[in-house]
Amino acid sequence: MRRLDTLFIGFMLFSMFFGAGNLIFPPVLGAGSGTSFWLAILGFVVTGVGLPFAVLLAVSLAKGGMQSIGNRVHPVFSTVFMVAVYLCIGPFLAIPRNANVAFEMGVTPFLHHSVNSKLFLLLFTILFFILVYVVSLNPTKMEKYMGKWITPTLLIAMVVLCTVGFGKLDAPFQSPSSTYQSGAFFTGFLEGYNTMDALASVAFGIVILTAIQKRGIRDGKQLRNYTLKASVIAGLLLSAVYVSLALIGAKMVGNGSFENGTDILSAAATLLLGKNGTVLLGLIFTLACFTTVVGLTTACGHYFSNLIPKVGYKTVVLMVTIVGFTLSNLGLNHILKFSVPFLVTAYPLTIVLITLTFFNHLFTQPKKVYGSAILFTGFFALIGGLNAFGLDLGPLQTMKDKLPLSDVGLEWILPALVGTCIGLYLSKFHHKVVVKEMEIKA
């Protein structure tokens, strides 16, 4: 495969990842972290860049992808987990979130306050999802649309905004907010969950492997090598964008109070470039959200058409776009309130599954190790998710709060380690029993 092909696949991967969450959360981190900026952004990059690409690498290592990794726990768990992830990063959460943010940043700033914004949202999403549907019907041409044209345009727009920002915004870092005064790294680590990229990697792995295989690469080692190269390209681009956007957020603190990342970037773009800045930012958000929605729609099409062979790829793509279009018109606030509880539950499970995958060759009884680790992790991850919904679980809540790292939202780590150790012990014990039985029979 040519180096240029690897570059374009890396660009395509970057554009698939780079959506609404990647734009709106780094500026908030920058504004809040202040003098703790570098620790906070390091934590963000670990979960916002490192973890997603660890998932991609793990998917390339396992024959059968993420589904086979989940099967090491149990086939039922694997299917339920994968379906839940695809639905949430697809039509039920990430897709409508991206479409709404594209409208909020690409259209709303140009509307008069007296117009019916819901009507314009309807018209915008009709056009948006028609284009998504058309592009998603031809997954083999995604590299051409996204890697060769859309991504370079997006990167040029980002470079213009950030270069002007670094030249004109020279305010020193402020004192960190209460959230970042202690444990800035862990706060940034948890903020990286919001990008949803680690879960998106579960889906994008199929798309990237397919793009590489289309170039005649079939050998497992070569697939992993090209996946790694494309991931490095996308990862470096994402890291540069995150640091740049977070720095803009940190430098904008003295220019007013802001509710969220979109407010920060809107104010920065207007301050730096006037009305042209608003247009530029609208272009950035619209392109970023569009490419992510196309990537997620394509991934859902591949997964569900393979899961249910009677339902073809084109039918799945049509259903995903219809559901995404419908939910997009409910409004962004209704969509976002369900995202945090799901992410708090799903991310620990994903992290543990991927971590175990890299040590799988050391396990004599993988199912026992995976099953035990996921059981312990999932129990406390679910409690964390219910807490995020605002539920107080009484004694369970007290037990969770007493665990190490509970104050930074990582209380599931100790249970995960305990579950893994129990699984290793059961695996070793089972191996000894089997050996002894074989000796007796001999």
Residue 362: pLDDT band by 50, 70, 90 thresholds? confident
Share of the chain above pLDDT 70, in %: 91
User: What pLDDT score was predicted for residue 292?
Assistant: 85
Phi-psi region of 256 (alpha: psi -120 to 50; beta: other; left: phi over 0): left
Mean pLDDT of 41-61: 88
User: What pLDDT score was predicted for residue 374?
Assistant: 94
User: What pLDDT score was predicted for residue 441?
Assistant: 57
What distance separates the 2 farthest-apart alpha carbons in the chain? Answer: 87
**Does residue 164 have a pLDDT over 80?**
yes
Q: Which two tokens stand for residue 285?
A: 């958000």
Residue 439: pLDDT band by 50, 70, 90 thresholds? low
**Does residue 310 have a pLDDT over 80?**
yes
* Distance in angstroms between the alpha carbons of the first and the last residue of the chain: 53
User: What pLDDT score was predicted for residue 140?
Assistant: 63
Residue 1: pLDDT band by 50, 70, 90 thresholds? low
Mean pLDDT of 217-246: 85
Closest among 295, 346, 367 to 15, alpha carbons compared? 295
Residue 14: pLDDT band by 50, 70, 90 thresholds? confident
User: What pLDDT score was predicted for residue 318?
Assistant: 95
- The mean predicted confidence, pLDDT, of the chain is 84
Residues 73 and 375 sit within 8 Å (Cβ to Cβ):
no
Q: Is 5 strand, coil or helix? A: helix
Per domain, the residue ranges of the chain are 3-336, 359-442
Residue 39: pLDDT band by 50, 70, 90 thresholds? very high
User: What pLDDT score was predicted for residue 379?
Assistant: 92
User: What pLDDT score was predicted for residue 27?
Assistant: 92
**Does residue 43 have a pLDDT over 90?**
yes
User: What pLDDT score was predicted for residue 431?
Assistant: 53
The residue that leads in pLDDT, 434 or 23, is 23
Q: Which two tokens stand for residue 377?
A: 């992790």
User: What pLDDT score was predicted for residue 94?
Assistant: 85
Residue 141: pLDDT band by 50, 70, 90 thresholds? low
Residue 239: pLDDT band by 50, 70, 90 thresholds? very high
Is the pTM higher than 0.85? The answer reads no
**In this predicted structure, which of 146-150, 223-227, 358-362 has the lowest mean pLDDT?**
146-150
**In this predicted structure, which of 180-189, 401-410, 422-431 has the lowest mean pLDDT?**
422-431
Mean pLDDT of 368-387: 90
What gap in Å lies between CA 73 and CA 69, rounded to an integer? 8
Q: What would the CATH number be for the domain defined by 3-336?
A: 1.10.4160.10
